[in-house]
Amino acid sequence: MKRVVKVEIVTDSLEVENIIKLLEEVGVSGYSVIKDVTGKGHRGVRSGYEFADLFKNSYILVVGEENQMHKVVEAIKPIIKKFGGLCIVSDVILRIHRGDD
């Protein structure tokens, strides 16, 4: 049982690989990705495309210590600014995780 910060990111599916690289660099303990997310924002509707892996979003969830999560947000900012999406953070309690109690 531990207070941690939860970071939620929605962005272009094709940027997931790049974001993961940044997460690894910051050194997070893990992350989760939901691939098929559609939506709408400033760039218009993004509902996927039947003929190519385009115009679709993904959702990325990372939880970790507050200052590490702060670094995560700073690291991914340029990608979100360029390819769209948003990033929200909130406080949660980590109840079960390997080694924790």
Partner 1 sequence: MDIGLIINNLVHPPVLFFFLGMIASFCKSDLKIPDPLPKLFSLYLLLAIGFHGGVELRKTGINQEVIFSLSAGILMAIIVPIYTFFILKIKLDTYNAAAIAATYGSISAVTFITAVTFLQTLGLEPGGYMVAALALMESPAIVIGIILARLFAPNNKEGNHFSWGMVMKEAFLNGSVLLISGSLLIGLASGEEGWDTLKPFTKDIFKGMLSFFLLDMGLLAAKRIGDLKSAGFFLPPFAILVPVLNACVAIFIAKLIHLQPENALVFSVLCASASYIAVPAAMRLSLPEANPSLFVPMALAITFPFNIIVGIPLYYYLIMRTDQWIPLFWK
Residues in the site for its own copies, rule: CB under 8 A? 4, 6-8, 10, 20, 29-42, 57, 59, 61, 63, 73, 76-77, 80-81, 84-98
Contacts 24+ apart (CB under 8 A), 36-45: 37/10, 37/13, 39/10, 41/84, 41/85, 41/86, 42/84, 43/84
Which option in partner 1, ligand AMP, its own copies, none does residue 4 bind, with CB closer than 5 to 8 A by kind? its own copies
Q: Which of 49, 61, 74, 86 binds partner 1 (CB under 8 A)?
A: 49
Count the alpha carbons within 13 Å of 11 in the hemisphere toward its beta carbon. Answer: 25
Which residues between 58 and 97 bind ligand AMP (CB under 6 A)?
61-64, 84-86
Residue corresponding to tokens 């495309």? 49
Nearer to partner 1, 50 or 91 (CB): 50
Are 24 and 72 in contact by the 8 Å Cβ rule? The answer is no
Site residues (vs partner 1, CB under 8 A): 14, 44, 48-55, 82-83
